[in-house]
Amino acid sequence: MVNIAILGFGVVGSGVYEMIKNNKAVLTETCGCEINVRYVLDIRDFSSHPEAEKFTKNIKDILDDPDVSVVVEAMGGSHPAYEYTMDCLNAKKSVVTSNKEVVATFGKTFLSCANQNGVSYLYEASVGGGIPVLHPLLKCLSGNEIVKAYGILNGTTNYILTQMFKNQKSYESALREAQEKGYAERDPRADVEGIDTCRKICIISDIAFGGFVDPDAVHTEGITAVSGEDVSYAESRSCSIKLLGYTKKREDGIVVIVAPFMVSKDFILSNVDDVYNAVTIHGNAVEDVTFCGRGAGKFPTASAMVGDIIDIVNNTAGKNREFGRKDVKVVDYKSEPFSFYLKLSGSCAGIEKVFENCKVLSASDSSAVIITDKTTQSQVEDKVKNASLKIERLIRCL
């Protein structure tokens, strides 16, 4: 029997607990032994729970029990998740987490600490909910030089965009539904302002390129400024608007961007709706591979965490690949070429002369909506300045 402890009995932690119970026969067969939840730590009162004796509010109960070999962290937030994770690793207990905030911020420290203690730190559930994306990146694709990765990495915002623009719901009711379904972060500004996507693309980038990207240094836009007008223009060009995390390796470093993109229907991502996430990874041998599935929710996320537990129990996790092995420079996001959707104000009569080869979607003397040729944001800003125009809206196109 392998004894585990679960920290945090909310949406995800209770999902892990129930999945272990519901899938007991499958897990016993896969692991060759039973997985037993010995402790659940949560600050709330669970005295009327059928297994109330398992609940504790004291991390020492878990740290001091030599029979607990795996700890599942599903509390969220940075503190005390950071301290508890370090204490567990130093007590030679492997840790599995869904908490992207701590992985993106402290993953470098955790992975190195886990290696020093000969245990595992696994975090598949921290990116893409139930979609296996980090394991393929760390294992199946690890012989490739990764060139770029981009994806829909937040279920809440994809759900909101779908409900608003396909099902005509208000922003408020779409967000409320995402919260009721257990998709949203405790503070949903982390979802709608792109912070959660930023943490996830940083984790992907850290694995793919071996550096360490500070989430605070990443250009991050959310979905709150996306308007019905933007969506109508997108649809007129057979595109959808999706919040993407984007990272790419260049000669001069890596570029990391989080922003709404106008995604052509030619890309799989364009048709990925509701809570679904999708991530495309481009390796120099494999070319494009896209992983798609439920990006949030109780059981999809539990699925990823239980997969990590099995990896540890079966001794197949291997040595932890540490972040920050290489000195990777993050380059100015404004130097990355895209074609841009621009809504401009000012004297727009000669807009085609300012932006050669642009497609004009609408124009008057005082405003214009265009799609530029491939260029950089720096060049766009120079042209706009020289022509005394103003950018009212800028969306990158994929």
Q: Kindly list the catalytic residues.
A: 200
154 in contact with ligand HSE (CB under 6 A): yes
Q: How far is the CB of 327 from ligand HSE (least distance, A)?
A: 29
122 Cβ contact list (under 8 Å, min separation 6) = 94, 95, 96, 97, 308, 311, 312, 317
- State both tokens at 40: 């659940």
Q: Which residue is nearest to ligand HSE (CB)?
A: 156
In the region spanning residues 56 to 85, those forming contacts with ligand NDP, defined by CB under 6 A, are 74-76, 80
Contact between 97 and 126 (Cβ < 8 Å): yes
Alpha helix (H) residue ranges in 194-316: 195-209, 228-236, 298-313
Task: Using CB under 6 A, count the residues that bind ligand NDP.
Answer: 26
Within 13 Å and on the Cβ side, how many CA atoms surround 47? 1
Q: Is residue 47 involved in binding ligand NDP (CB under 6 A)?
A: no
Query: Considering CB distances under 5 to 8 angstroms, the limit depending on partner class, which of ligand NDP, ligand HSE, none binds residue 12?
Result: ligand NDP
> Judged by CB under 6 A, does residue 279 bind ligand NDP?
no
Q: Is 102 in the site for ligand HSE (CB under 6 A)?
A: no
Q: Of the ranges 103-111, 184-192, 278-286, 372-380, which one interacts with ligand HSE (CB under 6 A)?
A: 184-192
Closest distance of CB 77 from ligand NDP, Å:
6
Bridge-based pairing state of the strands 339-345 and 146-152: unpaired
DSSP annotation of 49 reads S
Under 8 Å CB-to-CB from 200, ≥6 apart: which residues?
A: 100, 104, 126, 127, 128, 153, 154, 245
Nearer to ligand HSE, 295 or 346 (CB): 295
Stretch that binds ligand HSE, among 177-185, 355-363, 367-375, 383-391 (CB under 6 A): 177-185
Residue 55 touching ligand NDP (CB under 6 A): no
Least Cα distance to 101 among 125, 71, 119 occurs for 125
Confirm or reject binding of residue 296 to ligand HSE (CB under 6 A): yes
Cβ atoms < 10 Å from Cβ of 81: 23
Binding site for ligand HSE (CB under 6 A): 129, 154-156, 183-185, 191, 196, 295-296
